[in-house]
Amino acid sequence: MTDLSTATTPTHVGHSQLANAIRFLSLDAVEAANSGHPGLPMGMADIATVLWGKFLKFDPARPDWPDRDRFVLSAGHGSMLLYAVNWLTGYKRVGLDELKRFRQLHSLTPGHPEHDVLAGVETTTGPLGQGIATAVGMALAERILNARFGDELVDHRTWVIASDGDLMEGVSHEACSIAGHLGLKRLIVLYDDNGISIDGPTSLSFSDDTANRFRSYGWNVATVDGHDPEEIENALASAMNADKPTLIACRTIIGYGSPNRAGTSEAHSNAFGAAELAATREKLDWPHGPFVIPDQIVDAWRSFGVRGRDASAAWSKQHEQHRQRAAFDQAIAGDVRGLDALIQQYKTKVASEKPKIATRQASGQVLELLSPSMPEMIGGSADLTPSNNTRVKNSGAIEAGNFNGRYVHWGVREHGMAAAMNGMALHGGVIPYGGTFLSFADYCRPAIRLAALMKQRSIFVMTHDSIGLGEDGPTHQPVEHIASLRAMPNLLVLRPCDAVETAEAWQLALTRTDGPSLLALTRQAVPHARTDAGAENLTARGAYKLAAATADERVTLLATGSEIGIALDAKRELENAGIGTSVVSMPCWSLFEKQSEAYRRSLLPANTLKVAIEAGVRMGWDRWIGPDGIFIGMEGFGESAPYAQLYERFGITTAAVTGAVRARL
Amino acid sequence: MTDLSTATTPTHVGHSQLANAIRFLSLDAVEAANSGHPGLPMGMADIATVLWGKFLKFDPARPDWPDRDRFVLSAGHGSMLLYAVNWLTGYKRVGLDELKRFRQLHSLTPGHPEHDVLAGVETTTGPLGQGIATAVGMALAERILNARFGDELVDHRTWVIASDGDLMEGVSHEACSIAGHLGLKRLIVLYDDNGISIDGPTSLSFSDDTANRFRSYGWNVATVDGHDPEEIENALASAMNADKPTLIACRTIIGYGSPNRAGTSEAHSNAFGAAELAATREKLDWPHGPFVIPDQIVDAWRSFGVRGRDASAAWSKQHEQHRQRAAFDQAIAGDVRGLDALIQQYKTKVASEKPKIATRQASGQVLELLSPSMPEMIGGSADLTPSNNTRVKNSGAIEAGNFNGRYVHWGVREHGMAAAMNGMALHGGVIPYGGTFLSFADYCRPAIRLAALMKQRSIFVMTHDSIGLGEDGPTHQPVEHIASLRAMPNLLVLRPCDAVETAEAWQLALTRTDGPSLLALTRQAVPHARTDAGAENLTARGAYKLAAATADERVTLLATGSEIGIALDAKRELENAGIGTSVVSMPCWSLFEKQSEAYRRSLLPANTLKVAIEAGVRMGWDRWIGPDGIFIGMEGFGESAPYAQLYERFGITTAAVTGAVRARL
């Protein structure tokens, strides 16, 4: 192996020693935890050493430097590589103690890298394919911000280490295809081509010619010996100048250095045990004890961080004097100034005009209003733009070589879109929203979950939210989706009933900075419900009394979205028959759960008959209607027919509500 | 265009007229419905005419002929192509009236093709990517059965029409990559390369070199003018003899024949309107009125079916005399003879031995026992074989050129695996089961949903089903997954608590013929709970009294899976303190919902305090515990730590249960 580190490191520490520091920190940590994945850190240590040593733009003292390079360990099971490098390069928070507490409760070094646990972890990874797809969004955000603010403020790269598994996952196809289409030349993927997966050699299940696959996406592709630092350095240098995204296939040996496990699936996971650990120490000529890294090796690693410190300081000077500084800072801060006034303007207008429109149409109107003054908002759709109403008039499309647009045509790539949106949100400076049909939320679910886990402001615009979709039939009609999404922690599921609630839902989604939101919107027109449109965002309460009982309240109707119209009609009929009835609109359960018990009781008094009406499954409604409540909704999949007939067919009608109430009272 | 149909059709009807019959039936039906997608049927009519006219092996009088070719319209929005051909070739059930009722309530011609609605529809399609991935499973099942029964009984092809959208979807990558790896030469995909998607030209979002992409998967690739029947015929003939799966990229014009819409995204969906319809009739020289197809054209189409009738009769003769006839018929019937005795044998054994093992381990033991006598069972895992315990000892792997194995190494392709399993189930003759971690059920969800919608016996083995997974952390720990899957109609979600329940879960999954099952299994060992292991499958009741109160029942503990151990410990402690407590095991909610009210009340008496214990979210539990009940479980995402510490951390412990009960009583 060539020693290329002598020039950059003061103490003439060789490349191998630098790389072996990663290897043994990883091995020792896995051994201490008796759990984890040593194979990848050992195999990719040489790559990481060259990357951090010579290329990556980072400042350990300033992990939130906006113009830093982003590094994504898509193969998140190799987390110890990241933690080892994090400590070696001198990030403040992680100490050796934390490495020793790898995979222990409340440590900073969890089993897979978690964005909100440790600085320097740009995204949470582990579920394969997510990292590389998220990185596409980061690389896209960089180009968008570069187009807006120029090279002086935005000029960085996104680096990814991806495994065979990442590239087998379907989402890698979606993400890498759009990355090629958009010519995201600042994206460089280091593919750990080690030929091993958990079941055994990848030849058990995998024969892709990955280089040609990526060429077919319009990528630049190179192949290197992943243990030859000179080859690696040359390939990375070439990739820095490519005019396309680059895949570097790194032929590596998993568990490199282990006499008996290297090159086998045995090396992938689990502790090696004392004997093999000792043998590996001997083989790699590493006489140091567990977690012992000689000072001069640490110093050499720390010197890489110094390079970043200088770059970061130089950037700050440019930033300080930049004419767009204020706008840039606002974008990075993610503020949504001016939002409230615009929302109020819209609410007042529609509360007076009472339009009977689909909530997807109302959503489009809100976006038209907000978009001009909120340049951070970047829209998109997975090839359902005319249906999702996500594209604002006069907003240009983002395309290869022109990142001045505000709209991404994601193609039929729901999962890739959602994951890339997460990357955009993580990168900062942009607020991504993207549309598809609610039924296809299933396609994006792994990425939606990561947004929730990472507390990122990804905004999912999911239209055609029930059997109200009509003729397209059961494959396209969400039935269980709203329930299944409500079950996900930290996802705000919003199902507004009219234009006012739709505006409020957008207000919540945009102001929320600790997690994603999902708007479930109708295809069909719905009657306007909210005539009261004061400054308070009632949707923020999760549920509120939309219409009070005019007589003694005996019945409480609970509904969301398109079924609010049915509830209001039923209330009218019941009250005509002398049965005092209130209507509670429940656009967001999770927000309602957070209200005081007194408030919740005020909406759901103990002694009334509760009737829930929702064109979805019952799951979860029992919490609100109690054991004596009535649920009017779906019991199974939908059918293909005009939507009004489907509401009749499935008995989600005013007559069904009033009939059920009368039968009970 | 060359007229190649003269040789095969008695009345010298030209190819164009045959193809135009598809075009106008489609146009007229979409017009009548004022809804639908005419663009694909018009663009692919020439392909379909050559395929059905010259190649497809089918018998309209015998849609369940086991050795028929399978045709999958992956681009399901073009459903009218399938319905038109179905009627033209003379399938019995569909009449012209049904075409006129396209997309209407209870018609046989729903918006997207639905497997259980119309014979000749081999799989439900519509969510893009699913069809092509399902077809991979069909083509695989064909090879497996061919290896078992030989060419005389099993010798057919799987044909697919796929769109740009299908190929953009990630699942197409997973499925086509494994199809190439396995060398599924009987799979032929006709790619409708029309350059148009909903948002506009595909160039908005798509630059893949699809031919090279598929070559990189090891496919045979051809390109044809999709409107030149001679070119099409030659390409299909070549594909019939290929030794790899084949992709034929068909350059077509969407909405072919429409003067003003052809070649634009306008042609994709929606009715054309009277004026454009008239103009299209004139342009294509089609003087016939709506839904009028001249007799000689119908006769020509019907003659294609006659070809199939002869082939089907010849096959029947071979079948009648075949030495493996009985085994073949049993495989096709999907019977699971002998199952009950084996399950009972296992139950008796473990009820006496009371092993403290993980339910994934119990599942592996059950599979070891069943597999030898059930050759229809084909297992697999998405590269988690050692973790999922899905591979039976001595079962060979299925690989290219050798389909005698019983196990598929699917690679890290959860979604492709699940969709292909659906295709295997639809094909018949095999019973597919496949494993991954429960957390990655999210990756397969669109395919799981289709299995439920299509009522197919796909068996999903999902291990590592909670925070009990431990150190891998929140990305790998299911929290909301069980709730979200319970919300899905017609999916049996089974979370067994020990080896007995695991065996019963397998018994249910294998005997079920009207839908999929999902087994949620622990990573960690759990105490044995069921000492009563009689012939009755108690899991089939959904819930049952596992341990009755020894004193007057004041508390009812409800739990599933790994939390049954906590419930039993809590019961002991509470009863030691004089508080009569019963434990109800609830391995399958949906089965419990179907029990009589009397039975349900007997388990959940009105006057006891109900406490639910499950290491997942609360969603849905209120139905069982009522408004005064207590839920002990998860409120958010998990963490990375040894699992026992996580149970403490999240308060899912015996002490938490007894403490909450005492505080309440």
Model ipTM? 0.97
Query: What six digits make up the tokens of A53?
Result: 């040593």
β-partners of residue B246 are B188, B220
**Cα separations (Å) of A137 from A241, A379, A502?**
20, 13, 27
A37 is in an annotated binding site: yes
Banded model confidence at residue A12, pLDDT cuts 50, 70, 90: confident
Report which of A495, A484, A489, A543 is spatially closest to residue A518, judged by C-alpha positions: A495
Rounded CA-CA distance A614/A453 in Å is: 28
Q: Residues near B663 by Cβ (< 8 Å), separated by ≥ 6?
A: none
The pLDDT, as a whole number, for residue A114 is 97
The pLDDT, as a whole number, for residue A535 is 92
Contact between B268 and B37 under an 8 Å Cβ cutoff? The reply is: yes
A360 is in an annotated binding site: yes
β-partners of residue B163 are B192
Q: Helix (H, G, I), strand (E, B), or coil: what is residue B333?
A: helix
What percentage of chain A carries pLDDT values higher than 90? 95
Contact between A40 and A24 under an 8 Å Cβ cutoff? The reply is: no
Contact A218/B202, CB-based, under 8 Å? no
Report which of A499, A472, A489, A521 is spatially closest to residue A640, judged by C-alpha positions: A472
Q: Please name the residue of chain B whose CA is at the shortest distance from the CA of residue A416.
A: B170
A137 sits in which H/E element: helix A130-149
The answer to whether B376 is a known catalytic residue is no
Query: What six digits make up the tokens of A404?
Result: 């001045």
The pLDDT, as a whole number, for residue A94 is 86
Q: Residues near A207 by Cβ (< 8 Å), separated by ≥ 6?
A: B177, B180, B181, B217, B218
Query: What six digits make up the tokens of B598?
Result: 């009397």
B440 is in an annotated binding site: yes
Banded model confidence at residue A394, pLDDT cuts 50, 70, 90: confident
What is the least distance, in Å, from the CA of A580 to any CA of chain B?
A: 24
Which chain B positions have a beta carbon within 8 Å of A199's beta carbon? 381, 383-386, 409
Whether residue B568 has pLDDT greater than 70: yes
Name residues 526-585 of chain B within 8 A of A (Cβ). none
The pLDDT, as a whole number, for residue B156 is 98
Contact B128/A471, CB-based, under 8 Å? no
Structure confidence by residue, pLDDT tens digits, A33-46: 999 999 999 999 99
Rounded CA-CA distance B453/B451 in Å is: 6
DSSP state of B274: H
What percentage of chain B carries pLDDT values higher than 70? 98
Name residues 438-497 of chain A within 8 A of B (Cβ). 439-440, 442-443, 445-446, 449-450, 452-453, 470-476, 479-480, 483-490
**Nearest CB neighbour to B181, from listed A111, A112, A207:** A207
B136 reaches A (C-beta below 8 A): no
Write down the mean pLDDT value for chain A: 96
B429 is in an annotated binding site: no
Whether residue A47 has pLDDT greater than 90: yes
Which chain B positions have a beta carbon within 8 Å of A209's beta carbon? 215-218
Rounded CA-CA distance B276/B284 in Å is: 12
A127 is in an annotated binding site: yes
Name residues 259-278 of chain B within 8 A of A (Cβ). none
A126 is in an annotated binding site: yes
Contact B637/A412, CB-based, under 8 Å? no
Contact A216/B217, CB-based, under 8 Å? no
Q: Find how far residue A304's CA is from the centre of its chain.
A: 30
Contact B413/A168, CB-based, under 8 Å? yes
**Nearest CB neighbour to B216, from listed A208, A415, A645:** A208
**Cα separations (Å) of B361 from B230, B382, B394, B426, B463?**
57, 17, 17, 29, 10
Banded model confidence at residue A166, pLDDT cuts 50, 70, 90: very high
Secondary structure, 3-state, B204-236: HCCCCCHHHHHHHCCCEEEEEECCCHHHHHHHH
The pLDDT, as a whole number, for residue B3 is 39
CA dihedral B561, A593, A524, B107 (to 10 degrees): 20
Around Cβ B534, how many Cβ atoms within 10 Å? Answer: 10
Contact between B290 and B28 under an 8 Å Cβ cutoff? The reply is: yes
DSSP state of B398: P
Banded model confidence at residue B92, pLDDT cuts 50, 70, 90: confident
B200-201/B196-197 β-pairing: antiparallel
Q: Residues near A346 by Cβ (< 8 Å), separated by ≥ 6?
A: A365, A366, A369, A499, A503
A523 is in an annotated binding site: yes
Q: Give one word for B259, left, alpha or beta, with left for phi > 0 and alpha for psi -120 to 50.
A: alpha
Burial class (CB in 10 A: 0-12, 13-18, 19+), B663: exposed
Banded model confidence at residue A119, pLDDT cuts 50, 70, 90: confident
Name residues 38-97 of chain B within 8 A of A (Cβ). 76-77
DSSP state of B322: -
- Average pLDDT score over residue span B481-493: 98
Structure confidence by residue, pLDDT tens digits, B363-403: 999 999 999 999 999 999 999 999 999 999 988 999 999 99
How many residues are present in chain A? 665
A628 reaches B (C-beta below 8 A): no
Catalytic residue, chosen from A174, A414, A504, A614, is: A414
DSSP secondary structure string, A393-419?
TTPPBPBTTB---SEEE--S-HHHHHH
Contact between B301 and B21 under an 8 Å Cβ cutoff? The reply is: yes
Catalytic residue, chosen from B114, B122, B414, B504, is: B414
Name residues 302-361 of chain B within 8 A of A (Cβ). none
DSSP secondary structure string, B487-555?
TSTT-EEE---SHHHHHHHHHHHHH--SS-EEEEE-SS-B--------SS-GGGGS-EEEE--SSSEEE
**Nearest CB neighbour to B416, from listed A111, A170, A635:** A170
Q: Which of A412, A444, A558, A648 to mutate to test the interface with B (most CBs of B within 10 A)?
A: A412
Contact B124/A475, CB-based, under 8 Å? yes
Burial class (CB in 10 A: 0-12, 13-18, 19+), A553: middle
A554 sits in which H/E element: strand A553-559
